[in-house]
A and B are shown apart, each in its own frame.
Chain A
Amino acid sequence: MLTIRDLHVRGGGHEILRGIDLSIDAGEVHAIMGPNGSGKSTLARVLAGHPEYEVTAGDVRYQGEDLLAMDPETRARAGVFMAFQYPVEIPGVNNAYFLKAALNAVRKHRGQDELDAMEFMSLVRDRMKLLDIDQALLNRPVNEGFSGGEKKRNEIFQMAVLEPTLAILDETDSGLDIDALKIVAQGVNEMRSPERALLLVTHYQRLLNYIVPDVVHVLTEGRIVRSGGKELALELEEKGYVGLEEAPAARA
């Protein structure tokens, strides 16, 4: 589904990603772990199409197509979803109204009918329940004044509504209390299917107890320095990232 080859990315005058190779098949869950500043969010944002980064080399294929040639909205409509590490507050834009517009943009692309406000509400009701989102949150401006946990739950709620094919979750577990983590993990697990792929960026093994990955990658200084099974996450929890830079990168 997703094939990244030798991806080099610059941002703010620095080379942040320095040759990423990564391949994810439908039905798989991959986790990316790595120290602060290693380039995890940069990778997620580049895959979503953030205009602030410059791809200097490499190539990304999504369902056989050149992902980097698409603008962000085209990627979203084609089924790429990135849950933001820091969801943006947008005063004055109603959360429900925005999500309805987003859903209709995606549906239109899929050749489905657009939904009116009533149809939208009946469609999102059970997703709201799943992620414990109440009506008040839906009626507020996008992310404005949301607590950290509410922002993260709102991201996963959006994902549950938009039903992407490839979901990239950037530290969705950070800042969640244990109950919220379970709710979010349950929401994500509901989405798992043989047609979907998931890329989880996280610092904590804890999330991976709930959403069990097929492959774990370690990203350090813009490169994937190790890949392995879910037990790699446990090893990292124990030993940290120290010394991994020298380890040979292994392909899963």
Chain B
Amino acid sequence: MATVINPAGAYTAAFRRLAARVAATQPDWVTRRRQRAIDTFERLGFPTTRDEEWRFTNVTPIAETEFVPAGDALAAGNPPAVESFRLPMATAELVFVNGRYASALSKVGSLPPGARVESLASALTSHASELEQHLAHVAEFERQAFVALNTALWTDGVFVSVPAGTVLQSPVHIMFVSTGIRQQKSDTAGGCAAITHPRVLVLAGRDSQFSIVESYLGASDGRYFTNAVTEIVLGDQALVEHYKLQAERDISYHMATIRAVAASNATFRSHSIGFGGALVRNDVVATLSGEGAECTLNGLDFADGTRLVDNHTMIDHAKPHCSSRELYKVILADRARAVFNGKIVVRPDAQKTDAKQTNKALLLSEDAQINTKPQLEIFANDVKCTHGAAVGQMDEDALFYLRARGLALRDAREFLIHAFAGEVLNKMPLEALRDRADAELLRQLTRSGAGR
């Protein structure tokens, strides 16, 4: 059972330093929201496994580590990982190294009139009123300690705003790269690591359409903690395809919340692909706040060793005639663990809701483990809600069939793992990212020997 090791002290100190530094430049409303967030965090502390939402995910390693802001502790540099993860076709590509905007590594091509893609820190001065309306208003933090921490301590991130009726033909790519702090042999448990609080705000005007890709990368063997929050606001009939590719280092921590609100007939699609991290938690929360809104939440994770990946999703059907589709899959090797909690709320007037949730786990070892829990809270009567969960091992008959035609055992296993993953990856319209995710999965399998 986790006990809270007075974390607030260090974070409060970090907050004071940050507040002193930005006091003169940031608008008052930001100061107030930060203050409210740090107060909330101090009140909440880190969650423990007594908290139902964190029952299977013990964050003690995070609570016990002393984190220093990455931007203060580490140089920016140009990690090689950046080049290999670029998306050449991107409309705009913004790169952050250790939490700092790296303008020299970034490019913003020509955008349609009125569209903006820029660093959040700079948008704070250039688009203060748009930001004031939404920033830290979409992602709740009253009971979410990590969101509160990000809201209090974020230093930069991205602001994307696409005006009404505008379509971006190619995606906006955001890369958060961490190098972390190398551990000395003499370091005792806990040790010291770097922290970043990436923050993204996306405003999709009425009838707009575009894709956003967030890539999270670890670029050296250092230790770090990424604590990210993304807020997405979709106007009527807007369509946002959101991709997240998480390829953090295996010794890193990754806590992230994606919070979306979709107005009438808007479509929000989230593709969350995760390969790295010692301790990973993703909260994807979507509110269908207008009639006819749709959302798709897809997820694929791979974990090996003693890593833990926890996906909590929540779809709030607040209005009638909305539909949601959810497919989360995880591949676990060695003694890795996964948690899936899929909550679907159907509010009293959300009649004609159509919701479908599926969760599947492929266990490559006897010692791998998943805790999966669908959570349907339905308050309307004329609705269609289904959910299903399946946990299985590699299909021995399929393996034999492939081998009986000449495929090596290793290749046969890889075929089947890819087939399992493909059900999620093939739902991603962005082919370049699909290929990248596929290649990354292969690299992971080879590295861990889990394909064998």
Contact = CB atoms under 8 A, between A and B. Distances in A.
Chain A interface residue number, banded: 20 to 34
The secondary-structure label for the interface of chain B is helix
B419 interface: yes
A73 B408 contact: yes
B419 A93 contact: yes
A160 to B, nearest CB: 13
B398 A88 contact: yes
A105 interface: yes
Contact of A88 (B401, B407, B415, B420): B401
Contacts of A90: 395, 398, 401-402, 415-416, 419
A93 B418 CA distance: 8
B402 A71 contact: no
A90 B419 CA distance: 8
B66 interface: no
Interface string B393-416: 001111011111111110110011
B406 A91 contact: no
Contact of A93 (B396, B400, B416): B416
Interface in A195-232: none
Contacts of A92: 416, 418-420, 422-423
B408 to A, nearest CB: 5
Contacts of A142: 401
Interface in A32-54: 48-52
Interface in A73-94: 73, 75-77, 82, 84, 87-88, 90-93
A162 B418 CA distance: 24
B234 to A, nearest CB: 31
A102 interface: yes
- Among B402, B404, B411, B420, residue most surrounded by chain A Cβ atoms (within 10 Å): B404
A221 to B, nearest CB: 25
Contact of B403 (A76, A99, A141): A76
Contact of B406 (A50, A77, A141): A77
Contact of A105 (B400, B406, B419, B423): B406
B405 A98 contact: yes
B409 A73 contact: yes
A172 interface: no
B403 A87 contact: no
A87 B401 contact: yes
Interface in A51-70: 51-52
A106 interface: yes
A76 B405 contact: yes
A91 B422 CA distance: 10
A158 interface: yes
Nearest to A143: B401
B395 to A, nearest CB: 8
Contacts of B395: 88, 90
Interface of B: 395-398, 400-409, 411-412, 415-416, 418-420, 422-423
14 contacts: A72-B404, A76-B404, A77-B406, A88-B395, A90-B419, A91-B419, A92-B418, A93-B398, A93-B402, A98-B402, A101-B415, A105-B405, A142-B401, A158-B405
Interface of A: 48-52, 71-73, 75-77, 82, 84, 87-88, 90-93, 98-99, 101-103, 105-106, 109, 141-142, 158, 162
Which are the 8 A-B pairs with shortest beta-carbon distances? Answer: A92-B419, A105-B406, A102-B405, A76-B406, A72-B403, A88-B401, A73-B403, A102-B406
Given A51-B396, A98-B415, 10 more contacts: A49-B400, A88-B397, A88-B400, A90-B395, A90-B415, A101-B411, A102-B405, A102-B406, A109-B406, A158-B405
